Amino acid sequence: MMTRRQFTVCLATATGLMATLARLSASLAGVGDGFRFTFDGFDGKPLPLSRFRGRAILVVNTASRCGYTGQYAGLEKLWQEFGPRGLTVVGVPSNDFGSQEPLEGEAIKNFCSLNFGVTFPLADRTPVIGEEAHPFYKWARETAGSRAIPKWNFHKILLAPDGTVAAAFPSPVTPDAAALHEAIAAALPRS
């Protein structure tokens, strides 16, 4: 038989545990839902990631005047190779690093398609770091930590088909890198 004091201690412990679980549940709400974000498309129309729900998505912050700009061709190759198997590449041009993305809107699409044959979806110029960062990038930072924070142009965040961050790769990891290919292959939807 429990004493009144033991009962009070047990009840307080249970109440504390329930409060902790409620806080944890609230903090995890939406953790795996990278599909809930929408970018502004280069054409002025919304570019909702929910459009790609159930697919792996490689979100890459890009720039047209960067030493890594040539990666656009490799990203298009990834899109062509893995797209039919369930990968979507989304380019997110950003002017956050060295003001290397002076273009906006249709000029971005024209530059990418004329110079690199890009056909994958492109957002309009978007902040990816700091207080002005797009909510997707804030969410990625909160859920995946520092690995998801772009340090320069052509940083890559890979979402799994369930909307969680599967991997992140810094700018020097090129689209033809074995590690990136392995991560994409592992993240592709299973049929």
Which phi and psi (to 5°) does residue 141 adopt? -65, -45
Instruction: State the number of CA atoms in the 13 A half-sphere of 27 facing the CB.
Output: 8
Pick from 182, 153, 187: nearest CA to 170: 153
Selecting among 56, 59, 66, 112, the annotated active-site residue is 66
Starting at the edge strand found earlier in the chain, the sheet holding 165-169 runs 87-93, 56-62, 156-159, 165-169
Task: Mark whether 10 is an active-site residue.
Answer: no
Residue 124 carries which DSSP code?
A: P
Which phi and psi (to 5°) does residue 146 adopt? -65, -25
In 3-state terms, what secondary structure has residue 37? coil
Which residues are marked as active site? 66
